[in-house]
A and B are shown apart, each in its own frame.
Chain A
Amino acid sequence: MKIFAKDRDGKDIEIEGREGWTVMEMLREAGLPITAECGGACACATCHVYIDEEWVAKLNPASDMEVDMLDMALAVQPNSRLSCQLTCSEELDGLKVTLAPE
């Protein structure tokens, strides 16, 4: 599966996603400046991304824990998600995300 990520300075990057790994891990591995302070435990909100409008409804909805944790993120929008809570799968092939500001 492919992930299309937009960097904070607007640069587009195409990433090959590994099934079962989180989108956060893929972004980090691709060298994008994603902090992911807590290492993927849904405990810090530093892997915050915006989901492209056409993909928002196709994702599993955010858990209560993720919604709560998003309260600690900055510049949250209706299409905000924590990328450590999104798991790569064939259904998400072509997912488009934009890194949120730090």
Chain B
Amino acid sequence: MSEQNPIETDVVIIGAGPAGLFAVFELGLLDLKAHLIDILDRPGGQCTELYPEKPIYDIPALPIVTGQELVDRLIEQVKPFSPTFHFGEMAAGLTKLPDGRWKLTTDAGKELIAPVIVIAAGAGSFVPKRPPIPGIDAYEGKSVHYAVRKMESFRDKHVLIAGGGDSALDWTLNLAPIARSLTLVHHRDGFRAQAHSVNQMRELVAAGKVSFQVASVKALHGADGQLRAATLLGHDKAETQIDVDAFLPFFGLTIKLGPIAEFGLGLNENMIPVDTAKFESEQPGIFGIGDIITYPGKLKLILSGFHEAALMAQAAFHICRPHEKLRFQYTTSSSNLQKKLGVNG
């Protein structure tokens, strides 16, 4: 099935964290269809990216639940409404159309048109951490990469990898056989990666196929975006220079607000001011829920995001269905809602 472009729907939600996911549920009960955009490659936002295995103790009626379990349960809860997810894409632009609807453009060039936009972006977009090496930005995209898209592009190159997690170790193992040389640097002789990956890496080091150094990358050398060498700084303060054609830093992700700052929403300390009856921003039809919003008394708690989603959905209904009357119903008693949820009352 080929996807139409632009996509037209009722609501576009930016961010597939707990607030965005629960918004799908509340909108779904009102027969509003939702599309979600998230820069990560899976749902959950901070819950699955920062603390999938950490227990959360303040979700009502769930005395203890991990970040991953909470997201898994939300995914199960929204299943009856079959939302469309657009993963690995960032909301890049937002413009108002002459008919009053909004057109949202993603960094992949996708266009989504809807009368209601819900920003549930938490603290912003997850982006790779950039090591504080002077001038590194000049090499990004050409010889400094934060992800491997095509392994072949590293064949016969002098590859430098930095980091101690699974990404750093996995790519060390995968690229060592095809690279001309592979150097792994990490700040300690210990890794948070899978033990079997670490063992395999140590075997490659013993066989002389990988060079591992307890060091950090101090400087990069090259011209026109193409690296030639790097200076490594050991903990003994000794500096060494090695040949480098490609540098892959793997220090995980950090959060940057990103293009939302340019959406004209009158940000207050990087948060979107909203009213507390509808959770609408100063732009009619653009709503905000969860950690990204601010109002008097705002608490950055997941449970607050759930409440905000429910009220937002009521207001969104009136924009999406201006000629219909909204009937407030309970899932416990409404056979109509139970039908939507696919359960028998």
Contacts and interface: CB of A to CB of B under 8 A. Distances in A.
B235 A72 contact: no
A16 to B, nearest CB: 24
Nearest to A8: B132
A32 interface: no
A78 to B, nearest CB: 6
A76 B131 CA distance: 10
A38 interface: yes
Interface in B176-213: 186-188, 190-192
Interface stretch (A19-27, A43-51, A81-89): A43-51
A102 to B, nearest CB: 7
A73 interface: yes
Contact of A71 (B54, B163, B235): B163
Given A35-B254, A76-B216, A78-B235, A71 B50 contact: no
Contacts, number: 55
Contacts of A38: 46, 50-51
Secondary structure of the B contact surface, majority rule: loop
A39 B131 CA distance: 22
> Which interface class (under 10, 10 to 19, 20 to 34, 35 or more) fits A?
20 to 34
Given A37-B255, A43-B50, A101-B132, A71 B191 contact: yes
B51 A43 contact: yes
A101 B254 CA distance: 13
A44 B187 CA distance: 17
B235 A75 contact: no
B93 interface: no
Secondary structure of the A contact surface, majority rule: loop
B83 interface: no
Interface in A61-102: 67-78, 80, 101-102
A37 B123 contact: yes
Contacts of A71: 163-165, 186-188, 191-192
Interface string B153-169: 00000000001110000
Contacts of B216: 75-76
Contacts of B51: 38, 41, 43
A43 B252 CA distance: 11
B171 interface: no
Contacts of B186: 71
B96 interface: no
Contacts of B73: none
A43 B54 contact: yes
B129 interface: yes
Interface of A: 35, 37-39, 41, 43-46, 67-78, 80, 101-102
